[in-house]
Amino acid sequence: MTAVTLAASPALAPLLARGALRSPFKRPGSDADFPRTRLVLPGVRADLPRLAAYERVCGFACGDDALPVTYPHILGFPLAMRLMSGRDFPLPLLGLVHTSIGITRHTALPAAADYELGVHVAGLAPHRRGTEATVVTELRSGEDVVWQSTSTYLARHRTNTPAAETPRTAPEPLPVVEEWRLAGDVGRRYGAASGDRNPIHLHPLTARLFGFPRAIAHGMWTVARCLAAHGVPERARVEAEFRAPVLLPGAVAYAADGNGQFELRSAMGVPPLERSREWGRVHVEGQVLPLAV
């Protein structure tokens, strides 16, 4: 794998536009080649006003001298987008779905510290609905990896991969801890704080262009909001799967047990015409596990 050191974080808007223009010409498949480049960005430091806006919209405690557990994903996202919008990335950026994320935090991350980011594509794999890419992001302090994430992104297309067997019985829902009413501007506020201004999150009109009845919440916002409510130890492993989009505005229930399991599902506050379809639907499920000392 070839390391390429960047002088600055790439601007997201041109990457999104480039990826959109190239999407119709991509030919996805799990046997396709993918970029063997590791992008490296040294001297990374969080912009404190932007970090504070992120903490507010996600529900993290403001003023803490440490990065929220999900924030390095925000710092690394432009590098991931540069790889996934490139000519040598085989999956189309348009329609690419973030399906899961696993995060390992090895220590507290001081907000004012300098870090080095590294992002690479680890591989492609067949999925029953298409092809899934795995993207790895690492945050280093000196020589030490202090935070790492593994994200999967799905490109839907025809495939011969057999569907997994459906469980005979659905698991019991976790006990509800809180219910949240979500305003229609959550996507715009999160987009401003994170830099991810995908049109499906910003306004009903732009969301309808991509087949959604209303704007949907960012998947990483839903995970961050759950983890802010759950609480994450200084050293921890987080696993989360994105199961279904959250329509905005709407109502959701955050549920959790005493073993680190959590989920976000639709609550009774959804509009009446959608209630039969949406009520109780699981949007995110995951777990938080402390790391052994």
Q: How far apart are the first and last CA of the chain?
A: 32
Per residue in 210-243, pLDDT tens? 889 999 999 999 999 999 999 999 999 999 999 9
Q: Do domains 2-156 and 176-290 have the same CATH topology?
A: yes
For residue 136, give the 3-state DSSP assignment.
strand
How many angstroms separate the CA atoms of 247 and 128, rounded? 25
pLDDT of residue 62: 82
* pLDDT tops 90 at residue 253: yes
Per residue in 37-86, pLDDT tens? 999 999 999 999 999 999 999 999 887 789 999 999 999 999 999 999 99
Per residue in 236-246, pLDDT tens? 999 999 999 99
- Fold held by 2-156: Thiol Ester Dehydrase; Chain A (3.10.129)
Per residue in 262-280, pLDDT tens? 999 998 665 555 554 556 8
Each domain of the chain, given as residue ranges in start order, spans 2-156, 176-290
Per residue in 136-178, pLDDT tens? 999 999 999 999 999 999 998 887 766 655 555 667 889 999 9
Task: Choose the CATH number for 176-290 among 3.30.450.20, 3.40.50.300, 3.30.470.20, 3.10.129.10.
Answer: 3.10.129.10
pLDDT of residue 277: 55
| Cα angle 194-13-247, degrees, rounded to a multiple of 5 | 55
